[in-house]
Amino acid sequence: MKFRQDKHTIGEDEERSLRDDVRRLAGTERPPQDPPDAYWQNLLIRSNARIDAASSGRALSISWALRVALPGVIAIVSFLIGLHYYVPEVPKEDFSVAAVVLSLPAATIDSLLVDPSPVDPSLSVAELGVDLFDLSRDQIVDYLLTAGNASAAVEGLTEGERSELLAALGTNRQ
């Protein structure tokens, strides 16, 4: 069951009567003593000192913000903006053919078959405009024969080429 909350408000007479009764009941008690005059003067001094300390603390923090924190933040933000927009552009390196070839392992260089005559080592890969590794079948066969690997060269021949080769060898024998 719920009870209504007591919303009693006090009338002037009722308040006066109640207050007088409380004063009468408390009347026998000695009220707390008022501090001496010197205390009030001293309190003024101490309050002023505390205000000085508090306001100088605030002034210090404002001064600190202006002298240290704000420039610091501006410097950091400027640095980040600079980093974002003004990163020095690294020019694209245009490697020369010689540099590319020399960067390869020795075994790979051996496997390359490049006709050096049209290729000036000073030319860049871009200037050359060819894929160094896109070799023709004839170049590969020539390389294999030059390197003494005839069987590998024969493996790379077509049936027709093999017949033609055998016929030529037969002619030579005859």
Partner 1 sequence: MALTDPLSDIELVQEVRNGKRQAYTELMRRYQKRVYWVARRIVGNHDDADDVVQETFVKAYLALGDFRGEAGFFTWVYRIAVNLALNAVRKRQVMNYLRESELLSNLLPSPEDPSAGVEAEELDSAVRRAIDILPEKQKAVFVLRYYEELSYEEIAVILKTSVGGLKANYFHALRKVQDYLRNEIQAGQTHDRRGRGAVAPG
Q: Taking CB under 8 A as the rule, does residue 35 contact partner 1? A: yes
Handedness of CA 125, 127, 131, 133 (dihedral sign): negative
Q: Taking CB under 8 A as the rule, does residue 4 contact partner 1? A: no
Of positions 18, 65, 102, 147, contacts partner 1 by CB under 8 A: 18
CB of 52 to partner 1, least distance (A): 9
Residue 29 or 115 with smaller CB distance to partner 1 = 29
**Rounded CA separation 4/112 (Å):** 102
Of positions 1, 3, 4, 26, contacts partner 1 by CB under 8 A: 26
Q: Taking CB under 8 A as the rule, does residue 58 contact partner 1? A: yes
Q: Taking CB under 8 A as the rule, does residue 37 contact partner 1? A: no
DSSP states along 31-77: PPPPPPHHHHHHHHHHHHHHHHHHHHHHHHHHHHIIIIIHHHHHHHH
**Rounded CA separation 149/95 (Å):** 32
Q: Taking CB under 8 A as the rule, does residue 56 contact partner 1? A: no
Chain length of the chain: 174
Q: Taking CB under 8 A as the rule, does residue 63 contact partner 1? A: no
Stretch of 43-51, 61-69, 139-147, 155-163 lying at the interface with partner 1 (CB under 8 A): 43-51
Structure-token pair, residue 110: 């051996």
Q: Taking CB under 8 A as the rule, does residue 22 contact partner 1? A: yes
CB of 1 to partner 1, least distance (A): 23
Q: Which residues contact 152 (CB under 8 A, 6 or more apart)?
A: 144
Structure-token pair, residue 54: 């508090």
**Rounded CA separation 81/70 (Å):** 16
CB of 9 to partner 1, least distance (A): 4
Helix, coil or strand: residue 96: strand
Q: Which positions lie near partner 1, rule CB under 8 A? A: 6-10, 14-15, 18-19, 21-22, 25-26, 29-30, 32-33, 35, 40, 43-44, 46-48, 50-51, 54-55, 58
